[in-house]
Amino acid sequence: MAGTLVIVESPAKAKTIGKYLGRDYTVRATMGHVRDLPPERLGVNVEDGSFLPEYESVKGRGKIIGEIRTLAKEASAVLLATDPDREGEAIAWHIASAAGLNRRGLKVSRVEFHEITERAIKQAVANPRQLDMNLVNAQQARRVLDRLVGYRLSPLLWKKVQRGLSAGRVQSVALRVVVDREQEIEAFVPREFWTVEADLARSPWSKQKNDLFRAVLFTREKSPRKWEFEKGEEAQQVVKELEAASWKVAAITRKEKRQHPSAPFTTSTLQQEAARKLGFAAKHTMKVAQELYEGVSLGSEGNSGLITYMRTDSVNVSREAQEAARAVIVQQFSPEYLPSKPPFYKSKALNAQEAHEAIRPTNPARLPDGIRQFLGADQHRLYRLIWQRFIASQMAEARLEVTTYDIDAQPRERTKQPYLFRASGERTIFPGFMAIYRESVGDSEDSEEIKGLPRLQENDALDPVKLLPEQHFTQPPPRFGEATLVKTLEELGVGRPSTYATILSTIQDRGYVVVQGVGREKKFVPTPLGSAVTTLLVARFPDLLDVKFTAKLEDELDQVAEGKREWVPLVAEVYHPMMQHLALAEREVAKIEVAQSPDFPVAEKRKTTGRSSYTRKSGSSSYAAKTPRTRKTAEKKADYATPNGEPSGEKVAVKRAPRQKAVVAEEAQVTCDKCGKPMVKRKGPYSEFYGCSGYPTCRNIRKL
């Protein structure tokens, strides 16, 4: 093979890049990672304090590595074009090491691009660089830390709580955030209070609904505040006094408010807004965004990347992209929707790395509806969201008029001071960016909008259409949804934005939390199992489970990436105290019994290719594990990794249990006549039967 070999991770990416580079380049995809820590042992040298990882080829990647090695022998140069982040840098280094690309005479370079467009690809190829070992070491440090925490703490959970559990360095802190919020909710004591409100209209009321507006009773202090009564009788007494009162507009305040557009998307804000507006889980958002980034076939135009790299915490935008957006704004709206100069945004996230661009369309002129026929439904919805947010971010600010009416309600007794009611509303003077996009709040798509008020003048008489003594209760802090949990993790500096999707799916897969609610109102609720695991880990590993400690560790990993710190001492600073706490916990912690409830799913072991993992099955009150055929196999299977590559246990002694061939199918509405636990319908080698969910403690079975 003559020419240059280009190595990327995915076939879709390879197809798009190959189209731009032409015949002198051969593009091959690795299908992701080619090397990793071994799945069935620790794989980190802790005995001599070097913490050097022992990498091995990922199962199924041997053929790909061999092909890359063969093609490299015939190539004049090799370009490592993996993703432009720390993980991509580490993948590039692993490829070079596994395929032996460091041989003499072969020119191996790293190229980096943040969008898969012809201009970006050719510019990257023209400006290659060397591998950045600081970035590689930062990723190695993260991987080794995650492996050590998982492999050392998971066996403790096996012994003290329940077999099959696992602990993760960042995931356990995220779980703590959810559990802490639930404890706040449970400890919350609501306080009752009352307000007095009135539905008013200009006198005489025309019976038109649009003329009605709501006003609330305020105190007459120097800084008026909403008047709250402790008892309903007090509010009712005020209402009684107002039944024959005369009402008029005492004062009017009008102010212009300018509202600026939100910055273009980062990984975190994209996940939040896709959850609110589209109902997407963070994991699904990242999957669809990856497809848009790697390239989609656009008919005669061929494959093209539609968005820039979707793992970023930067809000920077290139000058070229801003100019392209401004042209679209003039075409789709008018020149008055353009600000005098392109806006500049600064990231608010902790540990933000500003080297990348924000997530934006690669070609702003590519309108969502113009390419709808080439996209799947979710691809189109996410692309439209990204496009709208980016175009809005480059538009002029919105101008709003905020109006406040101060209203006097004079009781019949003229000697009494009038009661003060207040109503506020807003009117759009110029929509600006809001003509195309408005950011949501909380976990819901709906933004809190202040309604407009009817146009009134001072001293206008008003009719009280309805007087309302309203009962209220203070509310506990809300449970987290996808959007608010991602936002909170980012604000706390826990993990990296690119890991949030995995974190949220992991704590669900392990049965530590469940999702309650429907649609966009889904909330995370910790299970008894998740609460028990968190209580144990927080009590025994206060540093590892501390939010500030975890955020500080992210800062230190950033220092490794910048070449300001060595990674091995950093790992040692975490590992040695953890092992001291672990030794105490092994001796002092008693077995923790977790109350099982049909309201919460629990572990059910399922077999996956090359490893074992645990999933959660709703409706089961226990798990039925297939026992390996031999003691030797059983001991080997006790040492496994979870699907995301994070370890969930180290090799431990496994007692041989009687083999049970049945697998759980569904829970039946039948209880065990021996222990009282629910019976579960199981499928054996010859027929179905009911088995006790308490197996192997209770072995009771019943024919269907």
**Spatial CA neighbour of 14 closest among 28, 34, 30, 35:** 28
**Spatial CA neighbour of 6 closest among 108, 81, 68, 116:** 81
Instruction: Answer for the pair 137, 560: CB distance below 8 angstroms, yes or no.
Output: yes
- Residues taking part in catalysis: 309
Per the omega criterion (within 30 degrees of 0), is the bond before 696 cis? yes
Encoded amino acid at 45, one letter: N
Task: Please write down the HEC assignment for all residues of 268-297.
Answer: HHHHHHHHHHHCCCHHHHHHHHHHHHHCEE
What is the rounded distance in angstroms from the CA atom of residue 540 to the CA atom of residue 533? 11
Beta bridge partners of 27: 6
Beta strand 192-202 with 213-218: parallel, antiparallel or unpaired? antiparallel
Backbone phi, psi, residue 333, to 5°: -125, -105
Task: Please write down the HEC assignment for all residues of 91-142.
Answer: HHHHHHHHCCCCCCCCEEEECCCCECCHHHHHHHHHCCECCCHHHHHHHHHH
Instruction: Answer for the pair 444, 276: CB distance below 8 angstroms, yes or no.
Output: yes
Instruction: Answer for the pair 306, 296: CB distance below 8 angstroms, yes or no.
Output: yes
Beta strand 25-29 with 4-8: parallel, antiparallel or unpaired? parallel
Phi-psi region of 58 (alpha: psi -120 to 50; beta: other; left: phi over 0): beta
* Alpha-carbon dihedral angle through residues 19, 25, 28, 29, given to the nearest 10 degrees: -50
- Reduce the DSSP state of residue 219 to 3 states and report it: coil
Q: For residue 475, what are its two tokens? A: 């509310």
Nearby residues of 185 by Cβ (< 8 Å), 6 or more positions away: 476, 477, 479
Burial degree of 519 (CB within 10 A; 0-12, 13-18, 19+): exposed
Instruction: Answer for the pair 6, 21: CB distance below 8 angstroms, yes or no.
Output: yes
Nearby residues of 431 by Cβ (< 8 Å), 6 or more positions away: 398
DSSP symbols for 536-548: HHHHH-TTTT-HH
Residue 83 C-beta-side C-alpha neighbours within 13 Å: 21
Residue 364 C-beta-side C-alpha neighbours within 13 Å: 26
Instruction: Answer for the pair 673, 700: CB distance below 8 angstroms, yes or no.
Output: yes
- Reduce the DSSP state of residue 628 to 3 states and report it: coil
**Spatial CA neighbour of 508 closest among 258, 282, 309:** 282
Beta strand 77-80 with 4-8: parallel, antiparallel or unpaired? parallel
Instruction: Answer for the pair 343, 261: CB distance below 8 angstroms, yes or no.
Output: yes
